[in-house]
Amino acid sequence: MATVDFGGVTKTVCLAYTPDAGIGDYTIIHAGFAIAILDEQAALESLELFEQLGIVSATTDEIAP
């Protein structure tokens, strides 16, 4: 069991399904269980992709007749 901070509210949750979770990790908690550890690298890549989309779209708009 571990203490998890939900943006200010803390709760005790079970880490049996995320044995690799460590102090400072962000997790998805459901029904008192951590079911996934969030991957910061993947999150950053998603945001970067959205940034790129905007640039690609803007460029396309400029080229369009």
* Residues in contact with other proteins by the rule CB under 8 A: 11, 13-14, 16-19, 26, 28, 30-33, 35-36, 38-40, 42-47, 49-51, 53-54, 56-57, 60
Distances, alpha carbon 17 to alpha carbons 11, 23, 32, 42, 57, in Å? 17, 16, 11, 20, 41
Rounded to a whole number of angstroms, the minimum distance from the CB of residue 61 to other proteins is: 8
Comparing CB distances to other proteins, the nearer of 10 and 40 is 40
Rounded to a whole number of angstroms, the minimum distance from the CB of residue 14 to other proteins is: 7
Determine the Cα angle at 61 with ends 59 and 65, to 5°: 120
Comparing CB distances to other proteins, the nearer of 10 and 44 is 44
Asked if residue 21 lies in contact with residue 37, where contact means CB atoms within 8 angstroms, the answer is yes
